[in-house]
Every structure is written in structure tokens, then in C-alpha cells.
Structure 1
């Protein structure tokens, strides 16, 4: 393995390029876009790109009926107030903050279900993969908005604080009640849809410049080459609607103290 790594480094030096990232000393094959251009992203592969379903119902709302749902709903509503005060209509920075938080629940839930699967010697019914894919999708949202937003130093500091608090709070919340945790995320996604709808309204009214879409967004969502920021926000909003449905469904499939069950149970 070490010899293979050394050969890869030496070959890269001779070619005048930095060595390619690799697993176990195996240099990955060169990938290309469908137009033949070299694939430049290491964070996702061409076959992981997709076309977002923008026809999804954006108005769907889970009406809180039981006490646990009402607590989850008003918890999320209370978190919106300081966010509105701090960011006001700076939706690029708001999106950046939103995605740093939104990428946490899937990772926490997937990790805890992974450990439960190992501990109980049982399958997860696909929920581990679903939640980890959600976390990765939200992370790609963040990588995209970092291309168009220019957060100030205190906003970056706020991200560190919020992520640290939210990760630990959600971790403990998921241990206590996965049902409650998934319901919270479902309502968070409903708020995200509202925020991105306001973002789109400002883009349409000209309050925010409709700049060209970042290249990473064009490749990730398979957007046309001339796509604009409005197109990016539209597909991101559709993703959030999908995550909303997944987490509300996960809350239904969960008991108060156990995570979501297999679909066929």
C-alpha cells in the first residue's frame, strides 16, 4: 500500500500536478461530465448528481395534535424569532446558517440508528442510509451557498456556537425521544421552505441580484449551463420539502423512545 502511494505521488510530481486524493493508495479514475469536461468535484461523483423534483407539494403542513407535536412545533417557532431579528432579509447568509443546522439531524439520527443496528443485531429498514443521505444533501446546500454568500466574521462565529449547541441538544433529544426529534426536523424544514420562498420573492422583485448559478450547483442538480441563483434556490426548496416529508413520516414510524421502524413492520 505504501509503495502504491509513493508511486502515485511520484507520478503526480513528474506530471507537474499535486497528487490525487485516493483510498488505500489507489488513485481514482479520471471522471468526466456528460459534456466531456473533466469532473472537478471530489465531494460528489457524477452518478450522485440528480434532478430535484420541483413539483413536490410545498404547502403541506403537519398540524400538531398531540402534546409532543405541539412542543416540537412551538420550539421551532420560537427559534425563528431570533433568526429573523439577526438576519432580517439577508437570505444568502440566512441560508448558510440554516444549512449548517439542517445538516446535523440526519448525521445524528443516522449515527444513533447505526449504533442501535450494531447493538441489536438487526436491520434499520433503510433509515440509516436515508438519514445520512439527508445530511449529505444539506451539506451540499451549504457548499453551494458559500459560493454566493459572503458571511461576516461574527456570522461565522455564530455558526460555530449554534452548531455546537444544536448538535448536543439534538443528540440528547434523539436519545430521549426520536419521535420528537424527527418532528422537530419536520417543522424546521417547513420553516426552511418559507425562508426560501421569501428568498425567491426577493430575487423576483430585484432586491437580490439573480447572479449566475455556481458551477457546483449546476453539476449537482444537473441544471442548465445558463442557470441562475433563482434556479438554485428553487431546487434547494424542493429538497427541503422532501426532507420535511421524510422526517414527518419518520416521526409517525417512531415510538416515543425508539427510532423509525422498518417500512414492512
Structure 2
């Protein structure tokens, strides 16, 4: 009895599918054959066309369903879409996440070793190899009055940081990167608005500052894999970031040159902090754990890279930001 019911159900489903496809084809033919004015008259006109309008309206859900199905298959071939459906079935929570800001699933990317690219926060073309040969001892001696204020302001800000974190350089790096990623975003935003107001190019500074903010944020994402902050450290981050963002925003409005000089000296202090971090690693006071996978992919580090290699490339990035901001203090 059960097999016959299953067979009958399958025949009924097939017939319904054929009926829906034929009905949809006929509805498309009707719509194409009618001009725009006639179509409006059929939908909103006299009673004589009510039957035709009801027919067309009845087919609209079929059209919408086919459109949504076509949209879901954009971004890859049939094999990739079937694999995506299989992975969505395996991970139901992932199927509800938007995989790109276009609302379309991006094509699958693979690394050189054949493994799938796992990061959505950056793509393979955003990676690079850091220049660790950069001069780390370069220092801009303050000469004018604003430079001296910026220099001593940064020196004073270092005192409470040293007292709070002492030699916990992993937590210090986490705090440093949550603050270091703010100036590039604020400066890029304000220069972007100034470019719009004045109808002029930015000279490439908007992109440079936003890339700096993105690089600093990747530093934070890396150290989050190494150090798990405590609740009071998270609270401190929220407080410091809120104060620093608003203070830097106002300072940049008053004097972009002064703001960039402050960041230049902050980066000099960051180089010093990471140098001390390396000394603790070399002395064995901090365990030289394997580098997080996100760091290996972002800086193209070797498979056997360690935390020391990560600190080396991060320190080189900070030296680059130091030079950029000291240069911006003269040019902007």
C-alpha cells in the first residue's frame, strides 16, 4: 500500500511541475504580447479584463519564485552551487550569513597549496610581505612648538600604559592596536569630506590613511588569536578608544599637521614597545608560540612561523606608519 502511495505522489508532483512551467510560459507570452498601456488597463481597468488581470496576478508569485532562485545561483557554476548547498545543509548557521556586501556568494578561492581561503576580512590580493629591513631608529626631532607639544603629549600618555600593563606585552599590543587603528580612519574620513566639499582630488591620502587603519586592525585581529583580554581590559579599551577618537577628531579639525605628528610619535613608541616584546621572547619570559594562521596568510609567513616572526613584521608596519605620518605632517 505504501509504495503505491509514494508512486502516486511522485506522479502528482511531476504533473504539478509541468503545469506550473507551462502556466508560467503562457503568462510570459501574454505579458510580452500586451503593450504597457494595455497591461495597466488589464490590471487596473474595466471589469471585462478582470479575468485576465486575475490570471496575470496569479502568475506573479511564480515569476518571483523563479527570480529568487536565479539570484541564489549567481556567483558560480552548478557544481559550486551544489557544493554551497551541501555546506549550508551541513552548517545551517552559515546559510543565514551574508557572504559579501553585494548579497551574492563570492567565488571560492584557494591558496597555493590547494587549501580553501578561509578569511572574509581580507582577500589573497590584500596580502603582502613586510619589509623588515626598514630603519627602526629613525626619529623626528621636534623643532617647532606644535611638534614639541605632540612629542611630550605622547611621552606622558606612555606613563599610565607602562604602569597598567607593565611587562604583559601581549595585552599591551592589543590595547595599542585598538587605538592605533583610529587615526587613519578619522583622517581618511575628514580628508574624504574635504575632497567632496572642495571638488578636488585628495592626492591619494584618503586611500593611504584608510589602508593604514585596515593594517592596524589586522594587527589587532592577529593578537586577539594570541591574547585573550580580561573583562576589565575590554572595558579599558572601550573607554580609551572613546576618549581618543573624539579627541583626535577635534584635533584633526583644528590642525591636521599636529594630528599626524602625534601619530608619528605614537608609532615611534609602538616600535619601542614591540622591541621590548622581542626581548622578552628571546629571553624566554614569553612563550614563542606558533604564529596564528591569519598572520601567516596576511603577511605570507612560512608555515613554521612563530610569534616572534609576527612581532617582527608588525614592528616593520609600525615603522612604515611612522614615516607616513611624519611625512603627512609636512604635506597635508
Question: TM-score, normalised on structure 2?
Answer: 0.74
Counterpart-to-counterpart distance in 2, 1:230 and 1:247: 26
Which structure has the larger Rg?
2
Provide closer, same or farther for how the CA distance between residues 75 and 7 of structure 1 changes in structure 2, counting only shifts above 3 A: same
1:174 and 2:239 aligned: no
Contiguous gaps of at least 5 residues in structure 1: 254-259, 261-265
Q: Secondary structure at the match of 2:277?
A: helix
**Alpha-carbon shift at residue 24 of structure 1 (Å):** 2.7
**Which among 140, 155, 158 is matched to residue 218 of structure 2?**
140
Identify the match of residue 103 of structure 2 among 25, 32, 40. Answer: 25
**1:112 & 1:166 partners in 2: Cα distance?**
16
Structure with more helix by fraction: 2
Alignment counterpart, residue 234 of structure 2, candidates 148, 156, 173: 156
Match of 2:161 among 83, 96, 107: 83
SS of the counterpart of 1:34?
Answer: coil
**Alignment counterpart, residue 43 of structure 1, candidates 109, 113, 121:** 121
User: Residue 117 of structure 1 corresponds to which residue in structure 2?
Assistant: 195
Partners of 2:174 and 2:73 in 1: how far apart?
Answer: 37
Q: Is the 8 A contact 2:72 2:104 kept in 1?
A: no
Structure 2: runs of 5+ lacking an equivalent? 1-63, 75-80
Q: Give every structure 1 segment of 4 or more consecutive aligned residues whose post-TM-superposition deviation is greater than 3 Å.
A: 8-15
Q: Aligned Cα RMSD in Å?
A: 1.8
Under a length normalisation based on structure 1, what TM-score does the superposition of the two structures give? Answer: 0.92
Matched position secondary structure for 2:246? helix
The whole-number CA distance in structure 2 between the counterparts of 1:79 and 1:70 is 14
**Counterpart Cα distance in 2 of 1:8 and 1:89:** 53
What is the CA–CA distance in structure 2 between the aligned matches of 1:25 and 1:104, rounded to whole Å?
28
1:145 alignment partner, SS class: helix
What is the Cα deviation at residue 207 of structure 1? 0.3
